[in-house]
Structure 1
């Protein structure tokens, strides 16, 4: 089955799931596709940090108070990253990269986390496939109605985990949780930490894609909008694998040191 919807599920909090979802969307748009990221991590609401401009209607409103509104009412462009004065402006890309964030007070978040709202979320994810070439859902570790609904609605489920021993253990627990709701983890993405980011370092986590460390600051994203280094190249591999699509972006040739390391 051709993948249109990809659920990126964090194996643990702080795994880098939201950043990875934003970067994959930017990469797809850079290659000329229309891509949406839907926020199914209502508690953290981290996707809202990557939005260009002010957020009015958000996803939780579409699941509770504004159920008749179109999904487009809560769609916002990814802001330009890489710091600088343009950090609040929309990124300019050949395709479209939209974010559908959760940005709501506790009372509405609580209503959006019910089983009924989760079923509406599934329908909103289906709605997104009629307007976008690819849909990525940012999902917290499976343990809430919205996370279960997102996993159930997606064509493919990929786990995002830190490239550490803790991440390896969390991945095993996540596989069990996903199996408990009748689904399976189809692929894995391990995110390396910058030097000194944690005491574990980057362990030998077995994953389908391993993303090199990047500046974790929100203002540095999306790196994939213009970058050609190892991080973006690894992202491209993850996008191609997840969506069974080829990405026509040229990447930097590895230098002598990198070639020697790869041979070792």
Structure 2
């Protein structure tokens, strides 16, 4: 069974969750899948840092003021030379709308956006912050699979243990733990993702990094993409365009 949806949940801020989510999406696209990435990390709005062009309407608009509009008006596509596509719905919002987007009714709208994305793509990945807000809980519980993304060392291990408990508290299950750019002396990680100096998509130009990301995707979604990562040139390059 191949899983369609996965929440990449940061065990702590700065764990590398956003990039890990995007690298996983690119590997899936290289394997022929169409992928939609949704941004639940409202506070940091980090997904938008990897995109260019007009980010309006953003995801918070689509779960508050424009809940009846289609998801695709907010998708920003990474234009990749691959069989599949990666389209992202980032957050780019003022504080007032961020506050409204964290309400219960907006979290319910987020769940509906995940359902809508599933109908339009092969896989839906969600960039999720540590579970402390309604939209993060909604994203985690609505997805079939949950990957905790953690830094290495004591800080990461302590954060992972706390987050495991929170995930259980909301009725979800941790399926994979990925430790990024660190050691795993205490974390009991399923996948170790090394650092890379390559820009996105590092998974397709850095062999060691690529093998780790591909292994993570294969384990998390039960889709064998291990022949994709680190292939050294599957992509001639990555540019960005806005799909409207």
Q: TM-score higher than 0.5 here?
A: yes
> 2:214·2:229 contact (CA, 8 Å) conserved in 1?
no
Deviation at 1:165, TM superposition (A): 1.4
What does residue 36 of structure 1 align with? 36
Equivalent residue in structure 1 for 2:213, among 235, 244, 248 = 235
- In structure 2, the gaps of 5 or more residues are 233-244
Asked if 1:214 is matched to 2:196, the reply is yes
What does residue 164 of structure 1 align with? 153
Deviations 1:134-171 (A, max 9, x none): 11100000010000100110001110000221101100
> 1:52·1:77 contact (CA, 8 Å) conserved in 2?
no
Deviations 1:157-190 (A, max 9, x none): 1100002211011000001111111112111000
Deviation at 1:251, TM superposition (A): 4.7
Asked if 1:246 is matched to 2:221, the reply is no
Whole-angstrom distance in 2 between the partners of 1:189 and 1:24: 12
Deviations 1:216-243 (A, max 9, x none): 8xxx11212x325110111001111111
TM-score by length of 2: 0.89
Whole-angstrom distance in 2 between the partners of 1:137 and 1:187: 15
Deviation at 1:252, TM superposition (A): 6.6
> 1:23·1:223 contact (CA, 8 Å) conserved in 2?
yes
Deviation at 1:93, TM superposition (A): 2.4
Whole-angstrom distance in 1 between the partners of 2:49 and 2:229: 29
Q: 1:127 to 1:164 in 2, by over 3 A?
A: same
What does residue 187 of structure 1 align with? 176
What does residue 173 of structure 1 align with? 162
What does residue 60 of structure 1 align with? 60
Deviations 1:24-82 (A, max 9, x none): 0111111111011100111111001111422121111111111111111111113xxxx
Whole-angstrom distance in 1 between the partners of 2:160 and 2:220: 18
- In structure 1, the gaps of 5 or more residues are 79-89, 194-201, 254-264
> 1:45·1:102 contact (CA, 8 Å) conserved in 2?
yes
After TM superposition, list the pairs within 5 Å mapping 1:1-264 onto structure 2.
2-78=2-78, 90-193=79-182, 202-204=183-185, 205-215=187-197, 220-224=199-203, 226-247=204-225, 248-249=227-228, 251=230
Q: Secondary structure at the match of 1:130?
A: helix
Deviation at 1:250, TM superposition (A): 6.8
What does residue 235 of structure 2 align with? none
Q: How many pairs does the alignment contain?
A: 230
Whole-angstrom distance in 2 between the partners of 1:73 and 1:165: 42
> 2:15·2:150 contact (CA, 8 Å) conserved in 1?
yes
Deviation at 1:203, TM superposition (A): 4.4
Whole-angstrom distance in 1 between the partners of 2:219 and 2:184: 23
